[in-house]
Amino acid sequence: MLIKDIKFALLGNAPVVRVVAEEGLDGLAQLEPGKAFVRGLMPVYREQLIGQDATNVAACMRRIRRFGGFKPWGAAASAIEIALWDLAGKAAGLPVHRLLGGKLRDRVRVYNGGRRWVTDQDTPEAFAKSAAIMMNSPEGFTIVKETGGFHGPQAGDFASRALAGRRGPGPWWPNRGPAGPRAISHVVECVAAMKEVLGDRVDLALDMGPGWMLADAIRVLRALEPYNLLWAEDLIAGDYVPWTDARQYRELTRSTTTPVHTGEQIYLRNSFLDLIEHDAVRVIGPDPADVGGLSELKWIAELADAHGIMVAPHGYLNGLLGLAALVQVSATLPDNLIAFEYPVADEDWWRQAVVGLPDPLVRDGFVPVWDAPGLGVRLDPDVAGPHLAQGDEGFFD
């Protein structure tokens, strides 16, 4: 099953990869919107992979892993790995979860992720409204994750409050510095408002950074202990920060009963070693489309399980092909799995373009695990084709 071509296209606002074998089979994967710049790396991957056996995923990845890095630079290699598993599964007539060792569950818990109600108002009332919307959503989520502190559309307002009006330039969570008691009290008030709505019926997690100084991170998580958060995410390092800082995370973890979470930005198992082997966090959240792919995520989750660390794979904005990949790998993960972050279709036509998904996708907060070959889904060229970017019209040829 030799690789004939690796194709890259922008489909709507989502970059997609298609690995084509000489025998006519193909494999698909999707990158997070905003990562179309990895198109420039594709000639390197083609040079390394054309003529290789697509079903020998490990050998293919050994040739290209060195060309990736921390989020967002591991995205292309990760997507190719997922597409290779899709192709290998189709060739074998088996779902990817069988190729990864077999499923341990028939359905996988998800949390709201891409279905969050987004507000730019950094007020307890706005967060309470968001919690109510998510609790009453048709998916029946049993976990709701919200933003807080130096993360999300409210981060600018929080930074102005915390940093006395000093805000860094640019859109990518550019603020870092001492928060102070007033800002910490504000976060607690917002969490209290959400818990008033959610009660004990729905678990609450918080995406909080990066940007906190260690002393303030300890203070805010101690102040949040009475609210029994499922986790607090990315306070010290995290999204689009190319390091882990296991030392500070370990001190934070040992200073509070609130579970500390990080990991969506990390590429490859090697970069998780300090966090896991030093028990620096209670929860890790690798993203299959950034960490190096499905088998890499599984290896990391199993190492974490041996250390008593839980896993909640990241998936925000990976889209419906990303959802299919998360279902396949999450079905195989050990008992330390909490849930994965539920990706959604950014535009309505995606739901018609991706064929093979169950309807409804989520019931009572869980997605069923399906058994069709590969990732179990395909793109309908007639629906998806008109949404290809100019110059990408040959993607399905």
Distances 312 to 17, 30, 100, 260 between C-alpha atoms, Å: 25, 20, 18, 12
Q: What is the CA radius of gyration of the chain?
A: 21
326 phi, psi to nearest 5 deg: -65, -40
pLDDT, residue 397, reads: 94
Q: What's the whole-model pTM score?
A: 0.96
Quick one: which of 72, 46, 79 has its CA closest to 242?
72
Counting every residue written for the chain, the total comes to 397
b/e code 130-156 from CB counts within 10 Å (16+ = b): bbbbbbebebebbbbbbbbbbbbebbb
**CA quadruple 336, 338, 342, 343: dihedral sign:** negative
For residue 47, give both structure tokens. Answer: 């040079």
Q: Give dist(CA 178, CA 211) in Å, integer.
A: 9
Could you read off the pLDDT of 89-144 as tens digits, one per residue?
A: 999 999 999 999 999 999 999 999 988 877 788 899 999 999 999 999 999 999 99
3-state secondary structure of 109: strand
What percentage of residues in the chain have a pLDDT greater than 70?
98
Angle at 83 (CA atoms; ends 82, 89), nearest 5 degrees: 90
Q: Give the sign of the dihedral formed by CA 276, CA 280, CA 286, CA 290.
A: negative
Could you tell me the two tokens for 246?
A: 């296991």
**In this structure, how many other beta carbons lie within 10 angstroms of the beta carbon of residue 65?**
18
List Cα–Cα distances, 107 to 89, 144, 363, in angstroms: 20, 18, 10
| Cβ 174 vs Cβ 168: under 8 Å | yes
Q: Is the dihedral of CA 202, 238, 44, 50 positive or negative?
A: negative
Q: Quickly count: other Cβ atoms within 10 Å of residue 227's Cβ.
A: 15
d(CA 259, CA 238): 15
**DSSP-based three-state secondary structure for 214:** helix
Please name each of the domains of the chain with its CATH number. 3-94+380-387 (3.30.390.10), 99-373 (3.20.20.120)
Q: Which amino acid is at 86?
A: D
* pLDDT by position in tens, the chain (length 397): 999 999 999 999 999 999 999 989 999 999 999 899 989 999 999 999 999 999 999 999 999 999 999 999 999 999 999 999 999 999 999 999 999 999 999 999 999 998 887 778 889 999 999 999 999 999 999 999 999 999 988 888 888 888 876 776 666 667 889 998 999 999 999 999 999 999 999 999 999 999 999 999 999 999 999 999 999 999 999 999 999 999 999 999 999 999 999 999 999 999 999 999 999 999 999 999 999 999 999 999 999 999 999 999 999 777 999 999 999 999 999 999 999 999 999 889 999 999 999 999 999 999 999 999 999 999 999 999 999 999 999 999 9
Determine the 3-state secondary structure of 312 from DSSP: coil
**Distance separating alpha carbons of residues 179 and 212, to the nearest angstrom:** 7
